[in-house]
Structure 1
Amino acid sequence: MTSDVPPTDFGQTHPGLGLLRMASLLAEAQTDEPDVDALVLMSRQVDAGVLKGAAPDEVWAELRRGIMGAAPSRMIATLRACGALAIVLPEVAALFGVPQMSEGQSDVDLGPHLMNGLDEAAAVAAPLSVRFALLVMNVGKSDSPREHLPAHYRHIERGTPRIKGIAARFDVPPECRELALLALAECERVHRVSKMRAGPVAAMLERLGAFDAPDRFGRLMTVCACDFRAHDGRAGQVYPKAALLELARSACDGVKAGDDPDATQTARAEAIARAFRSVRWSDETVDGN
């Protein structure tokens, strides 16, 4: 994990980087949380424009340090409290106060949910790409029509250019951008996958790269698991949909990919159906936004 974190250097040339460094060190649990007076001072610095002119690559270095820390939520909370989050990551800051449906009795606030997900990623020592995906994959939900809340129709269309914009602004590694876009499109579909229909499961596995890009598939499962555990009462729990998809993927190990993609997918669906002890499978896809 240390290779994902820039070396410690307190000789920042831009005054705003000192503020960001303080927040990122909080995520590494190297300093105590700022008291009220410190937050007031930080807020005044932000209001005075201390972050203006900070080079995006240097801002990203501090954000990366923080999200790779042991408690990323501490950085996010501090940056939000002093107003810096709205400057450096306005797309993420806009998620606070936005409700989303939950399987529990009440909706969840996407801001705290995001912070919980990052802390869950830290708990399993997830790589940078997983943490970046958890940070940005919901940015298309910040301005969902109020009359539809807590549902977020068409958030993928809104989120795609925003994630691409964040990735370009900070020049994040390509694998971070790719996984974030994949999580945007697929995480909620993974949450809804069912063993009752093996055909859609086979199609999903192929779409997610389970057969030809297993490392990326594994990272996506980690994103989905951390998002699942971010809900109240689920911290550290086993993510059942990851186990379901791994069972399905393993069932396809004996199926050789042939020249006919349709025949290959059919063979995989039949193998998955047998593994699920079900004969109900179809060519429909697992869908949803």
Structure 2
Amino acid sequence: MAVTDGLDVYVVGGAVRDELLGLPQGDRDWVVVGASPQEMVRRGFQPVGGDFPVFLHPQTKEEYALARTERKAGRGYKGFTFHTGPDVTLEEDLKRRDLTINAMARRADGTLVDPLRGRDDLERRVFRHASDAFAEDPVRILRLARFAARFTDFTLAGDTLQLCREMVRNGEVNALVPERVWKEVSRGLMNEKPSRMFVVLQDTNALAVVMPQLQWNTEVAQSTDLSAARILSLPSRYAASLSQTQEHAALSTHLKVPAECADYARLTQVLSARFDMLPLPPSPTAQAYLSSRAQYVLETLEVTDSLRKPARFRDLLEVVLCTRQSAAENLQAEITRIESWTGILGCYLQVDAGAVARQPGLAPHAIKAAVRDARLQAVVACLEKMTPR
């Protein structure tokens, strides 16, 4: 006998939505109607969570939640009281969800339960709030924006847009904590067209609240989408989205982003400011000019810590290319710069610091300077080879 035999269970939410869209289904969420926590435990389900009863299936480890209703009891997204019990219907549970397209369920026999006509909104490609309860949870604006980055042909219903603006005006969005903002933003950045997430946040007036330092415009939007099209990492996409933000450090601190993301945002701007120094102009090139430019190139490699993290330096080059590609009149020239920097990095990394340190007669205190000079000469030699004659 299966542990779910006799239970009134339904697959709900994203799994149903994605199935109807013909997309691969991820984790399934289940709702159980008419059961008690005691019965779920008796059947072998493992209770998890805190605010309301959620249980893990003893074999599949999928989440089964008891049908519930909720009532606003305070400000922000934590101010809720929940009610679960055998009297809560499936329709009541679905109505508390964020969007109509996420408020559908499948019975065990395959029947679709769609009291809010989410399937119609799927066909129309429309994001619409499931009920006025949407306004009680500011996280839903973040989720809506993230969905826009994933479902790129969907539009936002006008009444839902107005509702979001009212939430911002009423101060609900001010209650969002940085960790939750970053969780949703980071997920949105990894979708197909992340610029749409920022556009929705901007249209709802939430962007200035949750990311107050962000400098956002069409050029940055194109750079961010290019970073997604090139399937770059999260730190790289984050750096692209902050490519024109002067207060990037303050924003990274405000959002409490991982250190790697903050570093990528900072170093992208460092490298971008120095990016045009390569390749060198055609000959004749004075030796003094060549040495001076090599010194500046070496400093760039040092301040970006490319010796210890050459893979990150290559990532930064990709991000800079994304920021340049959207406005570049000559894309090939930008690609040539990437190739020049990559070549210089290779020469820099080939210097054997150990061999330099073992040179006869070299005093210990002079080793650091000798190694740096060897790296400088390697950069000079590389520049000489790649400079047109």
> TM-score scaled by structure 2?
0.54
2:184 alignment partner in structure 1? 62
The one-letter amino acid of 2:252's match is A
Deviation per CA, 1:176-198: give whole Å up to 9, x if none: 11222222333211234443533
Pair 1:25–1:88, CA change in 2 (3 A):
same
1:155 alignment partner in structure 2? none
Pair 1:224–1:267, CA change in 2 (3 A):
same
Unaligned runs of at least 5 residues, structure 2: 1-26, 30-95, 99-133, 281-289, 358-366
1:51 alignment partner in structure 2? 173
1:176 alignment partner in structure 2? 261
Matched, 1:277 2:384: yes
Sequence identity (%): 24
Q: CA deviation at 1:232?
A: 5.6
- The CA distance in 2 between the partners of 1:192 and 1:237, in whole Å, is 12
1:139 alignment partner in structure 2? 245
Query: RCO greater where, 1 or 2, for CA within 8 Å and sep 6 or more?
Result: 1
Which of 74, 77, 88 is equivalent to 2:210? 88
Which of 199, 216, 220 is equivalent to 1:114? 220
Q: CA deviation at 1:243?
A: 0.9
2:322 alignment partner in structure 1? 226
1:153 alignment partner in structure 2? none
Helix, strand or coil at the partner of 1:59: helix
Matched, 1:125 2:221: no
Matched, 1:33 2:33: no
Q: CA deviation at 1:211?
A: 2.0
Matched, 1:189 2:295: no
Q: CA deviation at 1:206?
A: 2.7
Q: CA deviation at 1:69?
A: 1.2
- The CA distance in 1 between the partners of 2:229 and 2:333, in whole Å, is 12
1:284 alignment partner in structure 2? none
Pair 1:250–1:61, CA change in 2 (3 A):
same
Pair 1:235–1:26, CA change in 2 (3 A):
farther
- The CA distance in 1 between the partners of 2:329 and 2:279, in whole Å, is 22
Quick check: 1:120–1:236 contact (8 Å CA) kept in 2?
Answer: no
Q: CA deviation at 1:51?
A: 1.0
- The CA distance in 2 between the partners of 1:230 and 1:264, in whole Å, is 39
The one-letter amino acid of 1:26's match is A
- The CA distance in 2 between the partners of 1:199 and 1:193, in whole Å, is 13
Deviation per CA, 1:211-251: give whole Å up to 9, x if none: 22112212221221111113266789963322111111222
The one-letter amino acid of 2:238's match is F
2:90 alignment partner in structure 1? none
Higher helix share: 1
**Larger of the two Rg values belongs to structure:** 2
Quick check: 1:39–1:82 contact (8 Å CA) kept in 2?
Answer: yes
- The CA distance in 2 between the partners of 1:11 and 1:235, in whole Å, is 46
2:144 alignment partner in structure 1? 22
Q: CA deviation at 1:18?
A: 0.9
Quick check: 1:72–1:118 contact (8 Å CA) kept in 2?
Answer: yes
Q: CA deviation at 1:279?
A: 11
Quick check: 1:60–1:170 contact (8 Å CA) kept in 2?
Answer: yes
- The CA distance in 2 between the partners of 1:188 and 1:79, in whole Å, is 29
Matched, 1:166 2:288: no
- The CA distance in 1 between the partners of 2:140 and 2:176, in whole Å, is 11
The one-letter amino acid of 1:239's match is I
Q: CA deviation at 1:34?
A: 1.4
- The CA distance in 1 between the partners of 2:185 and 2:322, in whole Å, is 19
- The CA distance in 2 between the partners of 1:186 and 1:17, in whole Å, is 35
Pair 1:42–1:191, CA change in 2 (3 A):
farther
Matched, 1:266 2:368: no
Q: What is the root-mean-square deviation of aligned Cα atoms in Å?
A: 3.1
Helix, strand or coil at the partner of 1:139: coil
Pair 1:130–1:32, CA change in 2 (3 A):
same
- The CA distance in 1 between the partners of 2:254 and 2:266, in whole Å, is 16
> TM-score scaled by structure 1?
0.71
